[in-house]
Amino acid sequence: MPFWSLLDDDSRNELLGIGSMVTFPLRDTLLRQYDLTDHLLVVRRGCVKVVANSAAGYQAVLAIRNAGDLLGEQAALDGGPRSATLTALTRVEALMIPSPTFRAAVRSAPVIAFALQQVLSERLREADGFRAAAGSEAVQARLAALLLELGAEYGRPVGDGSVLITLPLSQDDFAGLVLSSRRTVSRVFEQWRGRGWVTTGRNKLTIDRPDELKRLSSSGH
């Protein structure tokens, strides 16, 4: 559950009072890996891509974050450098809160502290579950589940049950999100296009057969 949804009205008003609203245009950088900036963000509207670069130069897409999600909490709590780069996949509106002020709010407001604890716990479970799925599920099942999730959150119906997703995600991004290679993901998309399940284009993808992707995602094959 998103951080903002875990708060009550008093806690939301407290954070709104100590933070300030900021806007990021499409493809803008919200936070940059290794930076020592001292604030965190709560997404109020929009979609954000989380990417980390390894020392060897490999880039991994770690997650997609949505409205209500908390961003940059790790560095805000431990004072270390940013562990990932966050990029706007849509126009993003966010509440920016200075880290010292947020930490004070956590100490004084049990509801905020509990919400933060829940978010940190869910992120750990998410990472563990993702690693487990990588070893037990086929790439096609993970990719189908991802597309259905993006379609439910950001897609729009375009007739005959099809769903159009317009997010600037590359095949490298999809590969990172399902813990696979670009070559494998490209091959899966080629198969699905041939079967009439999806249509791909620049910065857009249409799910033409959601029923087939649902069947595939639930089967795990």
Task: Tell me the longest C-alpha to C-alpha distance in the chain.
Answer: 57
Measured at the alpha carbon of residue 155, what is the angle toward residues 203 and 172, in degrees to the nearest 5?
35
Q: In the prediction, which pLDDT does 130 show?
A: 56
User: In this structure, what is the dihedral angle of CA atoms 27, 33, 35, 38, given to the nearest 10 degrees?
Assistant: 80
Per-residue tens of pLDDT for the chain, all 221 residues: 899 999 999 999 999 999 999 999 999 999 999 999 889 999 999 999 999 887 666 678 888 999 999 999 988 888 889 989 999 999 999 999 999 999 999 999 999 999 999 999 988 887 666 555 554 458 899 999 999 999 998 999 998 899 999 999 998 899 888 888 889 999 999 999 999 999 999 889 999 999 999 999 887 65
Q: Domain extents for the chain?
A: 3-134, 137-219
Separation of alpha carbons 105 and 123, rounded Å: 21
Separation of alpha carbons 83 and 32, rounded Å: 8
Separation of alpha carbons 212 and 201, rounded Å: 20
Q: In the prediction, which pLDDT does 180 show?
A: 85
Helix (H) or strand (E) holding 43: strand 39-45
Long-range contacts of 60-67 (CB under 8 A, 24+ apart): 60/176, 61/172, 61/173, 61/175, 61/176, 61/177, 62/176, 63/126, 63/177, 64/89, 64/150, 64/177, 66/2, 66/153, 67/2, 67/4, 67/43
Q: In the prediction, which pLDDT does 86 show?
A: 96
Q: Which fold has domain 3-134?
A: Jelly Rolls (2.60.120)
137-219: same fold as 3-134? yes
* Integer angstrom CA distances of residue 4 from 10, 67, 99: 12, 8, 17
The model carries a pTM of: 0.83
165 forms beta bridges with 205
Q: What dotted CATH number matches 137-219?
A: 2.60.120.10
Separation of alpha carbons 24 and 41, rounded Å: 12
Q: In the prediction, which pLDDT does 137 show?
A: 56
Place of tokens 């799910």: 207
